[in-house]
């Protein structure tokens, strides 16, 4: 079911209890926000509050800012870029909703600041905000679908706030944001259009908050990693912003490496090989391997060697592959995936992500795509492909409900508005991209590897940190490793890239031990690359 499988790419613990966090006692009266309900209205709005988060025995005070910042496809400083006598609809503009947190009672202009976003394309940033790094965190099911509301909101011991101020940005057309003007969707819904909108947001935010001299970071998840790679070059080339670091979670830079539907792109086989270690990790987790090894990581090293060696070579042979060799490869795939040799031969040694998640558990069950640890019953027991994602079904309601309550009750923003955790952008998205040095947008699958490579080359101090989950089949961890190993950068810059892996899925933070490690690794990266001290 291709459309649903693609939709679930939009990204994005224990039992829940009914208590929700109380409003901060020292919060000042919120700035009044009166939403304009006219059809095409879009304007800057802000609500400022104060709060605190307890980490261990220490309470940290912070200032919060929830609002809307308007950017134009042209100059973000212009209210309306049309000539004064122009008629017809206004030029395209987007109100991007955001939530920012600043440690302490007075913002420090030299503290690190990190701009955080999820992906999709078409996802708000509710996932990273409420699941990973914000000062409050929703407790949701880990590896299973938890009970319905009420959900528990807790102080987040894993927030990054001790080490960096945080700005969670919703993509144009998601969150509380809205678009207006002529050709508004065309102006913002595309690889290049989106990266320019985020660049305009960031430089405007830096100016309004006096943060131009702060160490600056991008943190992107899923399609947000695609955005971060393209955005890093736009900021470098067009805005004069040298970033200290780009942090990538559940990375996809080249869409030829997606295992969602590689069967629609015959002749490009590497996606099957790059997904194999995730297949193996999933089968190991669910105990469906014919001979299960004791430990995961040594097993994955063996699978990676086979995937990039014998398996990829066999796929490249196409119909020239001898039958005996085909049978040997199928036997090895059975050993690593648990799927039957007969099925693997019928599939011509090529298993898509949807086919694997539908069949790895056997019977009428299906595994998750965003996180293959999550099982569920198939809607169609006889279906070839997975018909929904149990992982997305498990996390969508807790995150959406908790944020809608929190943003209105504690941050005093959003009254009279609808929050869109996921917007319907995918079908209208312009995936064509103009990489650096190209005369036009290239008519092939999106690939922003050249952008990140160019940004690293132009700013030779730029550091990159990549995080991946072993059970992520939306953006397999070995595909991310492959992409970074193939970045066209000078050899001396290879040491500027580090990778971290976790026994979790696409939303690494859905598994609390992995969230703890993710925060520790990210915070250490920021401290190391900014020279900033830590409050933690």
The predicted-structure confidence for 107-145, as pLDDT tens digits, reads as follows: 788 999 999 999 999 999 999 999 999 999 988 777 667
H/E stretch holding 62: strand 58-72
Q: What is the pLDDT at residue 145? A: 74
Using 50, 70 and 90 to split pLDDT, how confident is the model at 39?
A: very low
Rounded mean pLDDT, 316-325:
97
pLDDT of 17 over the 80 cut: no
Rounded mean pLDDT, 393-404:
84
pLDDT of 251 over the 80 cut: yes
Task: Give the residue carrying structure tokens 């030829």.
Answer: 256
Q: What is the pLDDT at residue 88? A: 57
Cα 84 to Cα 80: distance, rounded to the nearest angstrom: 9
Rounded mean pLDDT, 208-235:
97
Q: What is the pLDDT at residue 392? A: 78
Cα 285 to Cα 301: distance, rounded to the nearest angstrom: 16
- Whether this model's pTM surpasses 0.85: yes
Cα 127 to Cα 132: distance, rounded to the nearest angstrom: 7
Using 50, 70 and 90 to split pLDDT, how confident is the model at 28?
A: very low
pLDDT of 30 over the 70 cut: no
CB contact at 8 A, 344 and 330: yes
The more confidently predicted of residues 78 and 20 is 78
Mode of pairing for the β-strands spanning 463-469 and 245-251: parallel
State CA 98 to chain mean position distance. Answer: 16
Q: Give the chain's mean pLDDT.
A: 87
pLDDT of 462 over the 90 cut: yes
Q: Of the candidates 154, 86, 12, which has an alpha carbon nearest to the alpha carbon of residue 469?
A: 12
Using 50, 70 and 90 to split pLDDT, how confident is the model at 20?
A: very low
The single-letter DSSP state of residue 171 is P
Q: What is the pLDDT at residue 423? A: 78
State CA 39 to chain mean position distance. Answer: 30
Q: What is the pLDDT at residue 275? A: 98
pLDDT of 153 over the 60 cut: yes
Instruction: For 15-47, give one letter per residue: b (16+ CB within 10 A) or e.
Output: ebeeebbeebeebeebeebeeeeeeeebeebbb
* Angstrom distances, CA of residue 221 to CA of 11, 120, 141, 191, 226: 8, 9, 20, 15, 9
Instruction: Report all structural domains of the chain as residue ranges with CATH numbers, in order of start.
Output: 13-256+396-530 (3.40.50.1820), 259-390 (no CATH)
Residues 226-248 have pLDDT tens digits of: 999 999 999 999 999 999 999 99
Cα 258 to Cα 421: distance, rounded to the nearest angstrom: 23
pLDDT of 2 over the 80 cut: no
Cα 499 to Cα 225: distance, rounded to the nearest angstrom: 14
Q: What is the pLDDT at residue 74? A: 60
Q: Of the candidates 230, 291, 282, which has an alpha carbon nearest to the alpha carbon of residue 259?
A: 282
pLDDT of 370 over the 80 cut: yes
End-to-end CA distance of the chain: 46
Q: What is the pLDDT at residue 353? A: 94
Torsion over CA: 424, 427, 428, 431 (sign): positive
Listed in sequence order, the residues at least 6 apart from 51 whose beta carbon sits closer than 8 Å to its beta carbon are 24, 27, 61, 62, 64, 135, 410
pLDDT of 4 over the 70 cut: no
Using 50, 70 and 90 to split pLDDT, how confident is the model at 287?
A: very high
Backbone φ, ψ for residue 200 (5° rounding): -65, -40
pLDDT of 459 over the 80 cut: yes
Cα 438 to Cα 444: distance, rounded to the nearest angstrom: 13
Listed in sequence order, the residues at least 6 apart from 34 whose beta carbon sits closer than 8 Å to its beta carbon are none
* Angstrom distances, CA of residue 65 to CA of 99, 293, 334, 415, 425: 6, 50, 53, 15, 26
pLDDT of 78 over the 80 cut: no
User: What residues form DSSP beta bridges with 52?
Assistant: 61
């Amino acid at each position: 079911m291709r459309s649903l499988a693609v939709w679930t790419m939009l990204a994005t613990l224990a039992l829940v209890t009914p208590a929700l966090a109380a409003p901060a006692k020292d919060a000042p009266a919120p700035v009044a926000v009166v939403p304009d309900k006219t059809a095409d209205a879009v304007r800057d709005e802000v609500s400022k509050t104060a709060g605190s988060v307890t980490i261990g025995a220490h309470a940290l005070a912070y200032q919060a800012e929830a609002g809307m910042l308007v950017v134009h496809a042209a100059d973000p400083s212009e209210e309306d870029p049309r000539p004064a006598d122009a008629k017809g609809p206004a030029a395209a503009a987007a109100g991007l909703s955001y939530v920012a947190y600043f440690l302490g009672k007075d913002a420090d202009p030299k503290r690190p600041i990190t701009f955080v976003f999820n992906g999709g394309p078409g996802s708000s940033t509710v996932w990273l905000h409420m699941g990973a790094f914000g000062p409050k965190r929703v407790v949701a099911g880990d590896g299973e679908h938890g009970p319905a509301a009420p959900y528990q909101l807790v102080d987040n011991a894993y927030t990054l706030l001790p080490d960096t101020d945080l700005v969670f940005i919703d993509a144009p057309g998601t969150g509380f944001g809205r678009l207006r003007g002529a050709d508004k969707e065309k102006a913002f819904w595309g690889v290049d259009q989106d990266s320019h909108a985020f660049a305009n947001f960031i430089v405007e935010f830096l100016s309004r908050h006096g943060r131009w001299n702060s160490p600056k970071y991008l943190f992107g998840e899923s399609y947000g990693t695609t955005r971060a790679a393209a955005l890093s070059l736009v900021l470098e080339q067009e805005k004069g912003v040298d970033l200290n670091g780009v942090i990538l979670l559940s990375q996809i830079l080249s869409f030829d490496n997606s295992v969602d539907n590689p069967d629609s792109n015959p002749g490009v086989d590497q996606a099957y090989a790059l997904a194999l270690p995730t297949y193996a990790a999933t089968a190991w987790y669910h105990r469906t391997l014919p001979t299960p090894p004791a430990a995961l990581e040594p097993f994955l090293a063996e699978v990676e060697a086979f995937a990039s060696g014998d398996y990829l070579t066999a796929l490249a042979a196409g119909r020239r592959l001898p039958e005996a060799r085909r049978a040997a490869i199928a036997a090895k795939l059975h050993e690593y995936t648990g799927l039957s040799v007969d099925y693997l031969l019928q599939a011509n040694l090529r298993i898509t992500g949807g086919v694997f998640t539908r069949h790895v558990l056997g019977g009428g069950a299906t595994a998750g795509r965003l996180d293959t640890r999550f099982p569920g019953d198939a809607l169609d027991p006889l279906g070839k492909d997975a018909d929904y994602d149990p992982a997305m079904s498990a996390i969508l309601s807790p995150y959406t409900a908790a944020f809608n309550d929190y943003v209105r009750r504690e941050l005093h923003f959003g009254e009279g508005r609808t929050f869109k955790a996921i917007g319907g952008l995918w079908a209208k998205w312009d995936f064509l991209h103009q990489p650096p040095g190209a005369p036009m947008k290239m008519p092939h699958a999106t690939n922003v590897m050249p952008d990140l490579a160019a940004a690293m080359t132009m700013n030779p101090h730029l550091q990159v940190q990549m995080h991946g989950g072993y059970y992520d089949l939306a953006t397999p961890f070995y595909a991310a490793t492959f992409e970074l190993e193939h970045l066209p950068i000078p050899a001396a810059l290879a040491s500027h890239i580090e990778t971290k892996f976790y026994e979790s899925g696409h939303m690494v933070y859905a598994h609390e031990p992995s969230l703890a490690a993710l925060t520790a690794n990210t915070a250490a990266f920021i401290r190391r690359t900014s020279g900033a001290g830590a409050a933690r």
